[in-house]
Amino acid sequence: KYMQSILLAGTILGADTVVAYDNKVLGKPKDAKEAKKMLSMLAGHIHEVYTGVTMIIKEEDQTEQQISFYEATKVEVTSMSEEEIEEYIATGEPMDKAGAYAIQGMFAPYIRKIEGDYYNIVGFPISHIYHTAKEAGIVEDGDLVVITAGVPLGISGMTNMMKVERI
């Protein structure tokens, strides 16, 4: 509602990522005990990572279009000892990550392989977003697309944004 009131024209993009294993959805762990449970579950197995994305496109004439999709990627985690799991948790890295790990961080050595979009696992399926935006006319040939990390507009929890610059 707040975003609707300040956005006269433009695009809002929202995305959230979850990990799924054995018919369970794993979000961010609430504490170290839950992180250990999640990582113990994933170690030595294949799981899926899903990122749901919604774009709201508001034109200057105030018409609005909404596009939603998801990206899925399979991830195989190596077997891990209890000590390896505990050492990883002690880094603090898993505490704000879906499934209690960051593929791009200190957990990378425990990833055996992936099938699908690496950036989906990071939480922002760039290629799918770019091509969807291109189909919607938000991005055109010759546009420079910059993906940046930050907290735009001070919105808590937003860690990535897509900026389109005409060149």
106: left (phi over 0), alpha (psi -120 to 50) or beta: alpha
The one catalytic residue among 16, 61, 96, 141:
16
Q: Cα(132)–Cα(89) distance, rounded to whole angstroms?
A: 36
> Could you confirm whether 16 is annotated as catalytic?
yes
- Residues with Cβ within 8 Å of residue 89, at least 6 apart in sequence: 32, 35, 36, 39, 100
Q: Cα(32)–Cα(18) distance, rounded to whole angstroms?
A: 18
Strands (E), the chain: 10-21, 24-26, 46-58, 64-77, 111-115, 143-149, 160-166
Which residues are part of the catalytic machinery?
A: 16
